[in-house]
Amino acid sequence: MENTINWSELSFGYMKTDYNVRCYYRNGKWGELEVSSSEIINIHMSATCLHYGQEAFEGLKAFRGKDGKIRIFRLDENAKRMQSSAQGIKMAEFPIEKFEEAVLKAVKLNERFVPPYGSGASLYIRPLLIGLGALIGVKPADEYMFLVFVTPVGPYFKTGFKPAPVCIMRDYDRAAPHGTGTYKVGGNYAASLAAGQKAQEKGYAAVLYLDPKEKKYLDECGPANFFAIRDNTYITPASTSILPSITNKSLIQLAGDSGLKVERRPVPVEELSTFEEAAECGTAAVITPISRIDDLDEGKSYIYTKDGKPGVTCEKLYNELLAIQTGDAPDPYGWTTVL
């Protein structure tokens, strides 16, 4: 079957693979990992995940190296973030070691779907945690299911590493000031769908959200964090309503170690006019350079590309990150887990 997959033509979509790994929380404890070949889950119609949004997920990737080995990027960080999301919406936390074991098992069992080195594709890993149990009152479930499936993917944005435009629209927020923006929970993505679709209809790859309280500072994009480059400095928003991106955390380290200054702080909208480069970053987005930001309310445009090419710093960071992920470069930080 894998012989028929055109790896370099893959987009960011779902493809059936062989197995997924599941685990249930009942009577106050997690059970054993179970392997399933079914794509279907059977849950109670009154489960809290269906009614009250008790759902959190993760996204990480596995890469095949030139040496044929499979490397999973920052497994532990994703495990920790899923625990933080579980705390945020009062779900049972899935233990770190079990998370790691489940992900390794899912990748191993679907090894034939890990795209070849150099194809530009990778294996996307999607862990999911949902509230089960028959409840009708608004309260946390007492039963949960953890599941991890994998699917081979290409670039999230169809432009790939080519710069794409994004827009600012003040009528929409993806998260509330003291809400769930820092957790990777389904509700934040539901909240972003209307603005995302509107932006796409206007030809934008994504929405750049402002802080929901004052609309004075940059927050993040629908599916990715935001960073900019100016005067040899990597600038990225600090905010209480954005997801702590593991890609951004990695880029902050790489930027600092390659001699850039790093500023993680509230970034006023007015600074948009001062940046040399701007980009989105995330597991799915990797680094997607931003060609232009259109502030649709103020009627202003900010341009960050010359001849439609990515900026030099974005390109350097992209290459450094990918080299560590695929094993082309040494991994001094211990970010990769070799299968």
Q: What is the contact surface with ligand COI in residues (CB under 6 A)?
A: 59, 223, 282-284
| C-alpha 207: how far from chain center | 15
The yes or no reply on residue 153 touching ligand PLP (CB under 6 A) is no
Q: By CB under 6 A, name the one of 164, 207, 243, 260 that touches ligand PLP.
A: 243
CB 226 within 8 A of CB 314: no
Residue nearer to ligand COI on the CB measure, 236 or 283: 283
Question: Which are the contacts of 212, defined by CB distance < 8 A and separation ≥ 6?
Answer: 173, 175, 176, 177, 179, 181, 219, 241
Q: By CB under 6 A, name the one of 154, 179, 212, 282 that touches ligand PLP.
A: 282
Q: Which of 16, 158, 184, 261 is the catalytic position? A: 184
What residue is closest to ligand COI based on CB? 59
Q: In this structure, what token pair is assigned to residue 17?
A: 């693979």
What element of type H or E holds 300?
Answer: strand 300-303
Provide the minimum distance between the beta carbon of 189 and ligand PLP in the complex, in angstroms, as a whole number: 7
The yes or no reply on residue 224 touching ligand PLP (CB under 6 A) is yes
Residues 36-65 that bind ligand PLP (CB under 6 A): 59
> What's the CA gap between 282 and 262, in Å, rounded?
18
Nearest CA-CA partner of 179 in 141, 209, 203, 144: 209
> What's the CA gap between 265 and 238, in Å, rounded?
4
Residue nearer to ligand PLP on the CB measure, 11 or 274: 11
Provide the minimum distance between the beta carbon of 278 and ligand COI in the complex, in angstroms, as a whole number: 18
Instruction: Please report the beta strands in 55-163, taking only residues with DSSP state E, as ranges in sequence order.
Output: 55-57, 60-64, 70-73, 122-131, 144-153
Question: Quick count: other Cβ atoms within 10 Å of Cβ 57?
Answer: 17
Residue nearer to ligand PLP on the CB measure, 10 or 246: 246
Please confirm, yes or no, whether 184 is among the known catalytic residues.
yes
Provide the minimum distance between the beta carbon of 318 and ligand COI in the complex, in angstroms, as a whole number: 15
Provide the minimum distance between the beta carbon of 330 and ligand COI in the complex, in angstroms, as a whole number: 25
Residue nearer to ligand COI on the CB measure, 283 or 325: 283
Provide the minimum distance between the beta carbon of 44 and ligand PLP in the complex, in angstroms, as a whole number: 28
Residue 212 interacts with which of ligand PLP, ligand COI, none, CB < 5 to 8 Å by class: none
Nearest CA-CA partner of 170 in 227, 219, 242, 228: 219
> What's the CA gap between 165 and 304, in Å, rounded?
10
> What's the CA gap between 295 and 11, in Å, rounded?
28
Q: By CB under 6 A, name the one of 54, 247, 288, 313 that touches ligand PLP.
A: 247
Residue 225 interacts with which of ligand PLP, ligand COI, none, CB < 5 to 8 Å by class: ligand PLP
The binding site for ligand PLP (CB under 6 A) comprises: 59, 220, 223-225, 243, 245-248, 282-283
Catalytically active residues, by annotation: 184
